């Protein structure tokens, strides 16, 4: 029983881990801010501002990655021996937050966020030496070859084959939703190496040079008219066996590790707080449909409260990560909430913009575009962001897949 | 995902949970309420012995001097075990009103011992203007005359004393009135959450030592009380919400229809996943509200409102879903899940509604 006397004698009050950032980090934040002020050119900032999906203008993103790499900040989350910064979780969060607030463009991150950790975990020394430096410098651009036209949520049903022929695999098949494949010089692929076992057990993980004969890339525009997605075709593509990551038929294990990184490595509230700022500005803008609308203001306030709840949940997860726990299925919780809240913000923003969001002017998105815009400045990307927000609950494991994971692994259903 | 707790907090939670699990049986509670007893004096004495009533009392007055986070631990358990004794009511009144009053020295030890059970009496017939009450406190030759009527005193029937909000000569005033005093006429009524509600008419003359606070300190205490009560009601709602979800998960694993457990149907799995997602998000926000309050954060008042909005929204949704996912059994009085639903519904309107909390949240700019 909890006794009064016992309690009085052993009272200790410790600072709670989920409290806001302690002052020690202020200096760190200031140094990041100072660097960003120096390093971000007007063109890079414009590319950041006019980002309508997870990808910024490709060249701007590449240039930014090169700048970060030169500073030694190319992959803050990586271990120091591979070029990481040695920052703690809080410092990495501050870095991401400041980059976002300063409108830095997003480099293509599939290599750094996904393949890098995999290579370090499953790769041979030769593979690490060959691939990690190009990833962190941004000289090599990697795309992800997982989904196929017949294999979306049911990824393990994939049919692209890799048949061993001497010291090479011969790859045939097709991949789709291969973001930025048209800008990439490497692709990491899941391929079928055994058809006679259960689907997950016959998959291998291959690293493929996009310049290999037999590869065709077919980009296609998304609903917003922009081209980020591609279908990639493989016709008798010969890949050295040395480019197998992990063991043959262990590709599913490799992929699962990656998917956890994809889900867990995201900080939704940084972006969401930026969206809240746009909502506040929309409510103060006399040209907005949201001006003097109490029903709109209530919805924004409820959204803000939901963002606060998500932020505190991300902090709780960060706290358990610091303690060495794996967030596991809880990254599904964050992914579902973060993406659905992003969609809600995007909806509120097109509502405020009204017809001002309608002009479709693709050239505006180029970072060197300085001409007139048909839409008011604050509405140039509003519709594209809304349209693209619908994809967020589909890629990286649909909201339905995430709910299934929670049902199975958290609730035990 | 564990929430970060200090060793003391874990100790408190474990001991309190063990006690309530062993000694606060749902069926005994049902029988007691059916017999017309809104609370069990033996339970209150046990709460006192375990130090729960001492949590918000400063050490110099024999208490533990603990904060919102510790009180919220008990509040959550009150929700989980459907405690009908006015624990969060008394904790909030003790911490925010009596604990800062001129009577702290005499009243607080009595609270700690379980002898003085205080609840706040704020609402009046005109609910919209309840923060500027029409109940008056006037100085006369004979003493202080308290006159007016207070409504909807939640669990008032289980209190020994009422902390009454009145309008005095120097602004607001808090007065501590024994519920049994001459000149206090109370109508009690059972409420849907198993408690005894109360409306009271006051027409009595009091000695000056009944006045807890007057003027600005009384206004400050009102804000402190409301913010704390919002946070604690959110925490109790959270406890009941989590319990409703857990009960639902267990039930759907056992209940077989069409030859398989209900839990195997994806349509139901995804609904339970949503219940879990929202409950966890709410939990994070409530703990943050507690920490903001305990660390004196500038945004503490705002966090309290945010917690109230979120807990109310999520508690309502999850407890409704809990009934739907159970089916008919959940609509019976003998099954527990409907009682979580009723307590959550009662808490929705305690201190303020979701809409009122939202409006207050909007009026407080972030810093």
Chain A, nearest residue to B271 by Cα: A403
Both A51 and A90 in one domain: the answer is yes
The answer on pLDDT for A12 being more than 70 is no
Both A282 and A405 in one domain: the answer is yes
Both B329 and B247 in one domain: the answer is yes
In a domain, B1, yes or no: no
Task: State how far residue B61 is from chain A, nearest Cα, in angstroms.
Answer: 13
Mean predicted confidence (pLDDT) in A5-18: 39
The answer on pLDDT for A42 being more than 80 is yes
B69 vs A contacts (CB less than 8 Å): 16
Q: How, if at all, do strands B143-153 and B136-140 pair?
A: antiparallel
How many folded domains does chain B comprise?
A: 3
- With CB atoms and an 8 Å threshold, state whether A297 touches B362: yes
Are the C-beta atoms of B164 and B135 separated by less than 8 Å?
yes
A80, A107, A134: which is the final residue of a domain? Answer: A107
In a domain, A7, yes or no: no
Count Cβ atoms below 10 Å from residue B62 Cβ, excluding itself. 16
In a domain, A45, yes or no: yes
The answer on pLDDT for A316 being more than 90 is no
- With CB atoms and an 8 Å threshold, state whether A313 touches B6: no
Confidence at residue A13, expressed as pLDDT on a 0 to 100 scale: 35
Task: State how far residue B8 is from chain A, nearest Cα, in angstroms.
Answer: 7
Predicted TM-score of the model (pTM): 0.93
Both B282 and B229 in one domain: the answer is yes
Both B328 and B311 in one domain: the answer is yes
- With CB atoms and an 8 Å threshold, state whether A316 touches B284: yes
- With CB atoms and an 8 Å threshold, state whether B15 touches A19: no
Are the C-beta atoms of B172 and B219 separated by less than 8 Å?
yes
Question: Would you please indicate which residues of A are annotated as catalytic (active-site) residues?
Answer: 262
Confidence at residue A330, expressed as pLDDT on a 0 to 100 scale: 78
Lowest model confidence (mean pLDDT) among A328-332, B37-41, B133-137, B314-318: A328-332
Both A271 and A401 in one domain: the answer is yes
Are the C-beta atoms of A187 and A143 separated by less than 8 Å?
yes
**Partner B, chain A 1-30, Cβ-Cβ below 8 Å:** 1-4, 7-8, 10-14, 16-20
Both B113 and B126 in one domain: the answer is no
Both A293 and A170 in one domain: the answer is no
- B263 → closest Cβ in A4, A336, A413: A413
Both B304 and B235 in one domain: the answer is yes
Confidence at residue A40, expressed as pLDDT on a 0 to 100 scale: 97
Both A305 and A386 in one domain: the answer is yes
Separation between Cα atoms, residue B102 and residue B99, nearest integer Å:
9
B64, B99, B117: which is the final residue of a domain? Answer: B117
- B284 → closest Cβ in A312, A336, A402: A312
How many folded domains does chain A comprise?
A: 3
pLDDT level of residue B125 (50, 70, 90 thresholds)? very high
Confidence at residue B289, expressed as pLDDT on a 0 to 100 scale: 97
Instruction: Quote the domain boundaries for residue A283.
Output: 266-410
Both A179 and A84 in one domain: the answer is no
First to last CA, chain A: 34
Instruction: Quote the domain boundaries for residue B32.
Output: 7-117
Both A299 and A376 in one domain: the answer is yes
Separation between Cα atoms, residue A3 and residue B50, nearest integer Å:
5
- B51 → closest Cβ in A2, A301, A315: A2
Both A224 and A272 in one domain: the answer is no
Both B354 and B235 in one domain: the answer is yes
Which DSSP letter does residue A148 get? B
Both A198 and A76 in one domain: the answer is no
Give the domain CATH number at B25. Answer: 1.10.540.10
B83, B117, B151: which is the final residue of a domain? Answer: B117
- With CB atoms and an 8 Å threshold, state whether A19 touches B266: no
pLDDT level of residue A267 (50, 70, 90 thresholds)? confident
B195, B215, B235: which is the final residue of a domain? Answer: B215
- With CB atoms and an 8 Å threshold, state whether A411 touches B273: yes
Q: Is the ipTM of this complex over 0.85?
A: yes
The answer on pLDDT for A322 being more than 80 is no
Give the domain CATH number at A281. Answer: 1.20.140.10
Both A275 and A368 in one domain: the answer is yes
Both B139 and B27 in one domain: the answer is no
- With CB atoms and an 8 Å threshold, state whether B281 touches A327: no
In a domain, A260, yes or no: no
- A4 → closest Cβ in B2, B18, B54: B54
The answer on pLDDT for B93 being more than 50 is yes
Mean predicted confidence (pLDDT) in B90-105: 95
Confidence at residue A2, expressed as pLDDT on a 0 to 100 scale: 40
Give the domain CATH number at B319. Answer: 1.20.140.10
**Partner A, chain B 65-104, Cβ-Cβ below 8 Å:** 69
**Partner B, chain A 343-402, Cβ-Cβ below 8 Å:** 400, 402
Confidence at residue A14, expressed as pLDDT on a 0 to 100 scale: 37
Separation between Cα atoms, residue A48 and residue A29, nearest integer Å:
20
Both B202 and B331 in one domain: the answer is no
Are the C-beta atoms of B200 and B120 separated by less than 8 Å?
no
Confidence at residue A260, expressed as pLDDT on a 0 to 100 scale: 63
């Amino acid at each position: 029983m909890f006794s009064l006397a016992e309690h009085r004698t052993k009272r200790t009050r410790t600072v709670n881990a989920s409290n806001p950032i302690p002052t020690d980090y202020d200096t760190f934040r200031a140094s990041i801010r100072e660097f960003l002020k120096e390093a971000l050119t007007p063109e890079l900032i414009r590319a950041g501002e006019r980002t309508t999906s997870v990808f910024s203008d490709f060249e701007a993103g590449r240039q930014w990655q090169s700048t970060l790499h030169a500073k030694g900040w190319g992959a803050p989350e990586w271990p120091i021996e591979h070029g990481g910064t040695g920052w703690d979780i809080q410092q990495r969060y501050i870095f991401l937050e400041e980059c976002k607030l300063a409108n830095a463009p997003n480099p293509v991150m599939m290599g750094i966020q996904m393949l890098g950790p995999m290579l370090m975990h499953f790769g041979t020394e030769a593979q690490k030496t060959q691939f990690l430096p190009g990833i962190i410098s941004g000289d090599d651009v990697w795309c992800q070859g997982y989904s196929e036209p017949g294999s979306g949520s049911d990824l393990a049903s994939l049919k692209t084959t890799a048949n061993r022929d001497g010291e090479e695999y011969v790859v045939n098949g097709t991949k789709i939703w291969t973001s930025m494949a048209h800008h990439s010089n490497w692709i990491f692929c899941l391929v079928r190496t055994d058809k006679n076992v259960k689907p997950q057990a016959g998959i291998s993980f291959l690293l493929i040079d996009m310049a290999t004969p037999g590869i065709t890339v077919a980009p296609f525009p998304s609903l917003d008219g922009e081209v980020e997605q591609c279908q990639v075709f493989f016709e008798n593509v010969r890949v050295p066996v040395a480019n197998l990551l992990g063991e043959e038929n262990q590709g599913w294990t490799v992929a699962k590790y990656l998917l956890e990184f994809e889900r867990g490595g995201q900080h939704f509230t940084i972006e969401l707080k930026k969206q809240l700022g746009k909502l506040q500005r929309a409510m103060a803008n006399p040209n907005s449909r949201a001006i003097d609308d109490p029903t709109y203001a209530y919805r924004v306030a409820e959204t803000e409260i939901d963002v606060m709840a998500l932020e505190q949940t991300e902090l709780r997860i960060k706290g358990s990560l610091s303690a060495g726990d794996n967030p596991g299925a809880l990254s599904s919780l964050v992914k579902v909430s973060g993406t659905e809240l992003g969609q809600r913000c995007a909806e509120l923003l097109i509502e405020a913009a009204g017809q001002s969001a309608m002009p479709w002017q693709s050239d505006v998105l180029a970072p060197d575009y300085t001409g007139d815009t048909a839409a008011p400045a604050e509405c140039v990307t509003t519709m594209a962001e809304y349209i693209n927000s619908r994809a967020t609950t589909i890629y990286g494991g649909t909201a339905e897949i995430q709910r299934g994971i929670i049902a199975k692994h958290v609730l035990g259903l | 995902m564990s929430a970060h707790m200090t060793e003391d907090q874990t100790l408190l939670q474990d001991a309190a949970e063990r006690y309530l699990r062993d000694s606060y049986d749902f069926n005994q509670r049902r029988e007691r309420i059916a017999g017309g007893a809104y609370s069990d004096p033996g339970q209150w004495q046990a709460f006192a012995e375990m130090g729960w009533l001492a949590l918000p009392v400063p050490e110099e007055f024999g208490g533990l001097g603990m904060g919102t986070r510790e009180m919220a631990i008990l509040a959550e358990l009150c929700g989980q075990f459907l405690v009908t004794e006015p624990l969060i009511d008394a904790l909030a009144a003790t911490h925010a009103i009596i604990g800062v009053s001129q009577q702290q020295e005499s009243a607080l030890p009595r609270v700690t011992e379980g002898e003085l059970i205080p609840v706040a009496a704020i609402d009046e017939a005109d609910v919209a203007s309840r923060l500027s009450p029409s109940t008056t406190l006037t100085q006369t030759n004979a003493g202080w005359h308290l006159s007016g009527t207070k409504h909807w005193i939640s669990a008032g029937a289980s209190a020994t004393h009422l902390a009454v909000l009145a309008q005095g000569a120097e602004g607001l005033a808090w007065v501590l009135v024994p519920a049994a005093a001459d000149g206090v006429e109370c109508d009690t009524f059972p409420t849907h959450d198993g408690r005894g509600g109360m409306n009271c008419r006051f027409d009595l003359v009091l000695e000056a030592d009944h006045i807890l606070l007057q003027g600005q300190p009384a206004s400050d205490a009102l804000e402190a009380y409301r913010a704390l009560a919002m946070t604690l009601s959110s925490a109790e709602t959270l406890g009941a919400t989590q319990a409703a979800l857990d009960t639902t998960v267990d039930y759907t694993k056992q209940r077989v229809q069409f030859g398989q457990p209900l839990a195997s149907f994806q349509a139901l799995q995804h609904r339970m996943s949503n219940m879990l997602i929202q409950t966890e998000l709410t939990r994070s926000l409530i703990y943050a509200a507690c920490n903001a309050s305990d660390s004196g954060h500038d945004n503490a008042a705002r966090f309290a409102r945010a917690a109230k909005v979120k807990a109310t929204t999520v508690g309502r949704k999850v407890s409704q879903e809990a009934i739907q996912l159970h089916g008919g059994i959940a609509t019976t009085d003998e099954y527990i899940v409907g009682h979580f639903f009723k307590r959550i519904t009662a808490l929705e309107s305690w201190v303020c509604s979701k809409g009122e909390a939202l409006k207050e949240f909007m009026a407080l700019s972030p810093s």
